[in-house]
Amino acid sequence: MRDGQETLVVDDLQFVVSRSSRRKTLEIGVDRQGELTLSVPADCPQGKIDRFARERKFWVYTKLAEKERLFKTRPPKEFTEGEGFLYLGRSYRLKFSPEQTENFKLFNGRLQMRPAMGSEARQSLVSWYSERLKRVIPERLQRMQIEVGNAASGFRVQDLGYRWGSCGKNGTVYFHWKVALLPVHIIDYIIAHELVHLKIPHHTPVFWKKLELAMPDYEQRKEWLARHGVLSDGY
């Protein structure tokens, strides 16, 4: 928890409380690291917030148990020959290639790396993923804009912490560089999710209905991401 944040403690649970004048409902979130957030209207009485959190305790414990099982800390990836690295849902084994000038490239079903990169290897790989994702997103974004009926003003790839995507007030959609690790149909889900957010900021029933109209099987994709997104840890 950062200094100055509003927090709520309910028994052994601690929530970061986020108030917004745009929000009409109360919602609890459990991020990928297990931190609890409580999003509430700006003028929501404290008593109502307390009751809501207590009523949802069992749900929170269930989610935390799932996170503990699914999101156990994974050791950092090692840049040694044979180590597996994901790209678009497929694992590629690392191979050293002394003759290549690029730091990383895909060739003959292997992720080839210029050796002796030392501590620069991880950041170089992040840059490689970012550039590859920038090539993947445009076509898929254009397709999903038609399906959803909302258009982004542009997109950016960057480190978003625990979030796979987000959208700004100016219509720009943001994607975590780790989205490049995911299968294409899951990338489409993240794109559609953020495009709906351009018009509907919060996860209200209207939001999910809009997403379902654009992507009838979104729940299966959402569940896949919750279960398998852990594979991005360690990168």
79 belongs to a structural domain: no
- 56 & 123 share domain: no
Report which secondary-structure segment, H or E, holds 96.
strand 90-96
Domain count along the chain? 2
pLDDT the model gives residue 160 = 87
Comparing 44-48, 97-101, 205-209, which segment has the lowest mean pLDDT? 205-209
Give me the chain's average pLDDT, please. 88
Q: Which residues pair with 106 in a beta bridge?
A: 111
pLDDT tens string 143-187: 999 999 999 999 999 998 878 999 887 899 999 999 999 999 999
- 66 & 133 share domain: no
The Cα 129–Cα 194 span in angstroms is 20
Give the pLDDT band (50/70/90) at residue 4. Answer: very low
Range of the structural domain that residue 47 is part of: 7-70
77 belongs to a structural domain: no
Residue 227 has pLDDT above 90, yes or no: no
- 192 & 161 share domain: yes
Q: Do 111 and 95 contact (CB within 8 A), yes or no?
A: yes
| Nearest-10 crossing angle of helices 205-214, 184-197 | 130
Percent of the chain with pLDDT over 70: 92
Mean pLDDT value across residues 203-214: 89
pLDDT the model gives residue 182 = 96
- 143 & 194 share domain: yes
pLDDT the model gives residue 33 = 64
pLDDT tens string 73-122: 567 888 999 999 999 999 999 999 999 999 999 999 999 999 888 889 99
- 96 & 174 share domain: yes
- 94 & 139 share domain: yes
Mean pLDDT value across residues 124-135: 97
- 61 & 90 share domain: no
The Cα 210–Cα 224 span in angstroms is 20
- 228 & 153 share domain: yes
pLDDT the model gives residue 35 = 78
Question: Which range scores top for mean pLDDT: 33-47, 61-75, 95-109?
Answer: 95-109
The Cα 147–Cα 145 span in angstroms is 5
Between 11 and 143, residue with greater pLDDT: 143
Q: Do 113 and 121 contact (CB within 8 A), yes or no?
A: yes
Across the beta sheet with 104-107, the strand order is 84-87, 90-96, 110-113, 104-107
- Residue 104 burial class via C-beta count within 10 angstroms: exposed 0-12, middle 13-18, buried 19 and up: buried
Q: What is the CATH number of the domain that holds 140?
A: 3.30.2010.10
pLDDT the model gives residue 1 = 38
Give the pLDDT band (50/70/90) at residue 61. Answer: confident
Comparing 17-21, 48-52, 156-160, which segment has the lowest mean pLDDT? 17-21
Tell me the whole-structure pTM to 2 decimals: 0.73
